[in-house]
Amino acid sequence: MEGYLVNYYEYHFLYISGIDFVESRSIQGAALMKLQFHEGTNMAQALAETVAQVNRARAFMPPGTLPPFVTRFDAGSVPVGYLVFSSDTRSVDEIFDLALFRVRPMFSRLPGVSAPPPFGGTARSIVVHIDPDKLRAYGMSPDDVVQAIAATNTIRPSGNVRIGDLSRIAPLNSTVSQAVELNHAVLRQGAGPTVFLRDIGYAEDGADILTSYALVNGRRAIYIAATKRPDASTLDVVRNIR
């Protein structure tokens, strides 16, 4: 991270107007960089120059490098409150899904409020479990399973059908509505027996790998940090949230 990524960013950041110093911290697979500017610097211009230099530095990055997330850190970046979710009947993953797709859109419409994604849970994911012994018995690899699932779960335009004065679009829709339907996906056919996903594993409607969690009063919970926009009044934002 330091030699192949951060070093190039630091080199290009020296061209930004008003830059005071650059602080960076590299960990496995990620890097956190903080740019501090001299007092009186036009931060709107500084942000625009930072984005421009980031795009310029990306030309030197190794293939497959993800673009960085550039954000302005000021008083508006500090949360003015937290919206905490918990339930005695729903799982943490269900609460996270509801907080992300139901509550956050309503929350972000409040005047002056900026609502980031919720924290403390894992995103809903369709998880495919594969038995390595069965996979080897059929002479297949995990990549074969990935390609087969992608090929059997897709929407493709197949053309138009003219009926009278109408020209209707005729798509080929082979997407599944339930995760268990993926168990009938064909992985291999032709010479020999047809291999289905259920023969080497199974699919389920689950959650992504847990990387972080939040505890409220000793119990797992989900929370959204409520931040205000730079030009908004803190008192008005808090009043709108309540």
User: What is the mean pLDDT of the segment spanning 84-112?
Assistant: 87
- The SS3 assignment for 141 reads coil
Kindly indicate the confidence band of residue 76, based on its pLDDT and cuts at 50, 70 and 90.
low
- Indicate if 124-207 has the same CATH topology as 75-123+210-241: no
| 3-state secondary structure string across 50-77 | HHHHHHHHHHHCCCCCCCCCCCCCCHHH
- Please tell me the chain's helix, strand, coil percentages from 3-state DSSP, rounded to the nearest 5: 35, 30, 35
> pLDDT digit string (tens) for 101-155?
998 888 878 888 877 888 888 878 888 999 999 988 888 889 989 888 888 878 7
∠ Cα 111 112 118 (to 5°): 100
CATH class of 75-123+210-241: alpha beta
Our measurement of the distance from residue 195's CA atom to the centroid of its chain's CA atoms, rounded to an integer in Å, reads: 33
Q: Token pair of 148, please?
A: 């087969």
What is the residue whose two structure tokens read 């009063």? 217
| Mean per-residue pLDDT of the chain | 86
- Name, in order, each residue with C-beta under 8 angstroms of 91's C-beta and a sequence gap of 6 or more: none
- Residue spans of the domains in the chain: they are 2-60, 75-123+210-241, 124-207
How far apart, in Å, are the Cα atoms of 29 and each of 55, 65, 66, 163? 19, 10, 10, 55
Q: What is the pLDDT of residue 199?
A: 92
Separation of first and last alpha carbons in the chain: 43
> pLDDT digit string (tens) for 46-56?
999 999 999 99
Q: What is the pLDDT of residue 34?
A: 92
State percent of the chain over pLDDT 70. Answer: 99
Whether the pLDDT of residue 75 is over 70: the answer is no
Residue 39: how many other CB atoms lie within 10 Å: 6
Q: What is the pLDDT of residue 3?
A: 81
> pLDDT digit string (tens) for 200-237?
999 988 887 877 788 888 888 898 888 887 778 888 88
Whether the pLDDT of residue 37 is over 90: the answer is yes
Residue 99: how many other CB atoms lie within 10 Å: 23
Q: What is the pLDDT of residue 241?
A: 84
CATH class of 124-207: alpha beta
